Amino acid sequence: MDGNAPTKDPETEKPDLTFRRFEDGDNSPPEWEDHVIISGESHQCPTYVHKSPPCQGSCPSGHDIRGWLAIARGMEKSPVEGMAWQEYAFQRMIQANPFPSVMGRVCPAPCETGCNRVEVDDFVGINAVEQYVGDWAMENNTPLAQAGEDTGKNVAVIGGGPAGLTAAYSLRKKGHGVTIFETHNELGGMMRFGIPGYRTPREMLDTEINRIIDLGVEVKLETTVGKDVSMEDLEKDFDAVFWAIGAQNGRPLPVPGFDAENCITGVDFLEVFNKGLLKAVTKRVVVIGGGDTSIDVASVARRLGHISHNKDIALPEHVVHGYTAQDVVGTMKRDGVEAMLTSLFPIEQMTAAEREREDAKIEGVDLRGSVMPLEVIKDDNGRAVALKMCECDMDGMKPIPREGTEFEIECDLIVSAIGQMGDFTGIEDMDNGKGFIDADQVYQVKGRENHFAGGDILKPHLLTTAIGQGSIAADSINTYLAGRELKDRPKVDVHHFSLLDELRLHDKAPESVESPTSGTAESNFAVHNYEDRSSREIVSHSELYLGHFPFDARDKRTEHHIHGDDVLGNFEERIEGLTEEQAIHEGTRCMSCGMCFECDNCVIYCPQDAIFRVKKDDRTVGRYVDTDYTKCVGCHICMDVCPTGYIKMGLGE
């Protein structure tokens, strides 16, 4: 690859779109008269229906994304006088995720993929706002919420990665005692030992972890359950156990010859690198995978480089196997590394994030798609010298080789990044026979009522998935410790906006009554003409009036792309965060899907003046407008012009 060749950001290749309700040539007006007459006869009048936005429905950790973007845009104000909007947004974020700085950098952001704004121009920069708020909170020493009142219950958390730390955080908020047992000498799990420091700066990671520990979490480092602590001890000393041991064992390549000593797994490669033990690799490295881990391995190899003039440098496989370290490397001159990454799937269908794939290409990683490994070729000393491969097609998840396409790739190091599984040494009874733990929908371990599990030990997935599972499992543990029955979770299982909580927060909650009466418009015992469907429905773009939103370009974070061999020795962070002005702008781009954002369209366009603003002293988010049913004729105009899909037509009186 030519390191000076111009490259294109795939995101900038998107056309500049704006929504159009009608196409060229659509000159006939709709039959609105019939629409009004039918609507009037049906007595359908506005009701305000809260649904979940697709960004939240797509977020495995269940962020109230719409909520903290509303804070960024200034629509929702803190009830605490003088509180900065960033602090209020931070407090909203950490209800779901105590690692906004980490996740703002490394999460592949499925929330953005689901954003309805793509129907207008481009998705909202959710990930970028999350990073901005998380970094602001660190710079201003903003703490987490305090631990809850002591319940006298104690929970063992096995593993100090994203799932374990999130569970510990959530359990301390509920007042339970928590002890984390961690095999490594530091907490963080895959955030520390599986992701390079140039993607998750260690000072930032330490700050976010220490905020959790400061809530009163006891930590036992370099302590392995099954070796240093027995299952019997856990059962005796703790009321519940949460298994978050991760998938620490990489899967070897299932082809003949992978038992050569210079064939290793991606998990082991990244762990020794992140521990500071691996400082150089060999000249030719082949990585088999296609996911984010394989991208990280290849990118790290390109940064580490190869030292050819000194025979005393320990080989990478010797470092991985724990024989030695590369302490003598120091400031020795390094040469570039030929790093190739192969995938069963075509390059555009690799599971790695598109941004990471493109960065890897720019940095000089050779990506090869639609190829499958057949055999590791060894020399007379038993070392791998080449990988025999062939082209393939995919039948679902099964590769089908193409006859006559075999070829060999010469190499000095082969890294398998094709999957992971748990290490059950000493706790074999927890293994489901496939290298994982079986748990139900509320993350209770099958057959063990006081044991729960979450994170990669259930099924390797995203960091944000582990965070969400840790949070939900903590809820389940809390329910179990309270002696209550564990019930099914909502269909849309996220941290929902609650109008009643919002009203209570501002001392505007309705009064409760002992005996029901008909109608709520004239009385204050319930919320008038409001329905909450957020736990079961996600609002789609077809329910929004997209014509309300003009083209508004997304503010993108500055990314430092490193070309070719310039990557050698460069471990600087690649992403620069947004400014406050940019973060606020991204908040204004949010379309507030499924929730009123106070645009006044319904008030302005109602021909009967039936819709009116709630008195200023009674307003909160979600309670901005109301309807006088005695004036409404059911014309549906308010629903048609509602940009957010918040207004639906229901039965009125």
CATH fold for domain 154-248+424-481 = FAD/NAD(P)-binding domain (3.50.50)
Strand (E) positions, 411-470? Answer: 413-416, 420-421, 451-453
- What's the mean pLDDT in 397-408? 96
- pLDDT value of residue 8: 42
* 153: pLDDT strictly greater than 90: yes
Q: Categorize the per-residue pLDDT at 501 as very low, low, confident or very high, splitting at 50, 70 and 90.
A: confident
Largest CA distance in the chain: 92
Q: Categorize the per-residue pLDDT at 565 as very low, low, confident or very high, splitting at 50, 70 and 90.
A: confident
- What's the mean pLDDT in 165-174? 98
- pLDDT value of residue 515: 53
CATH fold for domain 34-51+498-533+594-653 = Alpha-Beta Plaits (3.30.70)
- What's the mean pLDDT in 68-93? 95
**Residue 635: C-alpha distances to residues 46, 606, 638 (Å):** 10, 9, 8
Q: Categorize the per-residue pLDDT at 310 as very low, low, confident or very high, splitting at 50, 70 and 90.
A: low
- Tell me: the pLDDT tens digits for 29-52? 666 555 554 444 456 788 899 999
Select from 366, 365, 369, 374 the least CA-distant residue to 407: 374
- Tell me: the pLDDT tens digits for 332-368? 667 889 999 999 999 999 999 888 999 999 999 999 9
* 464: pLDDT strictly greater than 60: yes
- Tell me: the pLDDT tens digits for 520-536? 666 676 677 889 999 99
Q: Write the single-letter amino acid at 590.
A: C
600: left (phi over 0), alpha (psi -120 to 50) or beta: left
- pLDDT value of residue 25: 76
Between 108-117, 154-163, 632-641, the lowest mean confidence (pLDDT) is in: 632-641
Over the chain, what is the mean pLDDT?
Answer: 90
With pLDDT > 70 as the criterion, what percentage of the chain qualifies? 89
In CATH terms, 250-421 corresponds, of 1.20.272.10, 3.40.50.720, 3.50.50.60, 4.10.320.10, to 3.50.50.60
Q: Write the single-letter amino acid at 7.
A: T
Between 470-474, 483-487, 507-511, 556-560, the lowest mean confidence (pLDDT) is in: 507-511
Domain chopping of the chain, boundaries: 34-51+498-533+594-653, 58-142+546-589, 154-248+424-481, 250-421
* 205: pLDDT strictly greater than 70: yes
Helices (H), strands (E): how many in the chain?
A: 20, 23
Q: What is the DSSP code string of 74-85? A: TSS--SSTT--H
Burial class from Cβ neighbours inside 10 Å (0-12, 13-18, 19+) for residue 196 reads middle
- Can 154-248+424-481 and 250-421 be said to share one CATH topology? yes
- What's the mean pLDDT in 558-578? 91
Between 107-121, 146-160, 222-236, 513-527, the lowest mean confidence (pLDDT) is in: 513-527
- pLDDT value of residue 629: 84
Work out the number of other CB atoms within 10 angstroms of the CB of residue 513: 11
Q: Categorize the per-residue pLDDT at 7 as very low, low, confident or very high, splitting at 50, 70 and 90.
A: very low
- pLDDT value of residue 29: 67
Between 14-18, 264-268, 318-322, 521-525, the lowest mean confidence (pLDDT) is in: 14-18
* 104: pLDDT strictly greater than 90: yes
- What's the mean pLDDT in 129-140? 97
- pLDDT value of residue 296: 96
* 514: pLDDT strictly greater than 70: no
